[in-house]
C-alpha cells in the first residue's frame, strides 16, 4: 500500500534527518591510538591492540533506537528488510549495545539509504 504524499514527505524528511545525525555521530568519533608494548631484548615497540574510532555510545544508542523505531513503522511484516529491522531491535532489547562499531553505524546509514531508494523514493 502506498503512503499518502504528505506522510511520505514527512517520513523521508525524518529519514534524511536521521541519516545526517548518524553521519554526525561518525564524524565526531574520537580516535583511540593503538596500545603498544616495548621489547627490551631487541629494543623495539610492538602493537598490543590496534587503534580505532570510538563513537559516543549514548548518542549512538539513542540514534539507533530512533532509526529502528521509524524503520519498524515503515517496513511492514513480510518485506525482505523486516528481518534486519527485527535483528537490530532484538539486540537493543537485550542490552547488547557494545556489539556495534563504526562499521555498524555506516552499515545502518547505507541500509537506510538503500531502503529509501528501493521502496520510498
Q: Print the domain residue range for 19.
A: 5-120
Question: Which has the higher per-residue pLDDT, 116 or 70?
Answer: 70
Three cell numbers written together for 79: 518485506
pLDDT greater than 60 at residue 46? yes
Quick one: residue 49, left, alpha or beta (phi over 0 = left, psi -120 to 50 = alpha)?
Answer: beta
- What per-residue confidence (pLDDT) applies to 74? 78
Residue 108: Cβ within 10 Å count: 22
Would the pTM count as exceeding 0.75? no
Number of structural domains the chain divides into:
1
pLDDT surpassing 80 at residue 67: yes
Summarize pLDDT for 1-11 with one digit per residue, the tens: 567 788 878 88
pLDDT tens digits along 10-30: 888 898 899 899 889 989 989
Q: CB-hemisphere CA count at 13 Å for 91? A: 15
Helix (H, G, I), strand (E, B) or coil at 50: coil
d(CA 105, CA 99): 11
| Mean pLDDT on 95-105 | 58
- Label residues 37-68 b or e (16+ Cβ within 10 Å = b): eeeeeeeeeeeeeeeeeebeeeebeebbeebb
C-alpha cell at 86: 527485527
What lies within 8 Å, CB to CB, of 79 at 6+ separation is 119
Amino acid at each position: 500500500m502506498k503512503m499518502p504524499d504528505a506522510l511520505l514527505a514527512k517520513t523521508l524528511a525524518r529519514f534524511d534527518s536521521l541519516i545526517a545525525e548518524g553521519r554526525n555521530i561518525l564524524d565526531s568519533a574520537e580516535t583511540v591510538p593503538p596500545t603498544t608494548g616495548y621489547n627490551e631484548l631487541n629494543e623495539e615497540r610492538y602493537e598490543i591492540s590496534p587503534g580505532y574510532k570510538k563513537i559516543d555510545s549514548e548518542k549512538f544508542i539513542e540514534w539507533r533506537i530512533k532509526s529502528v523505531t521509524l524503520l519498524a513503522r515503515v517496513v511492514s511484516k513480510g518485506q525482505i528488510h523486516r528481518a534486519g529491522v527485527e535483528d537490530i531491535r532484538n539486540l537493543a532489547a537485550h542490552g547488547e549495545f557494545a556489539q556495534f562499531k563504526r562499521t555498524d553505524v555506516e552499515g545502518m546509514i547505507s541500509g537506510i539509504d538503500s531502503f529509501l531508494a528501493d521502496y520510498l523514493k
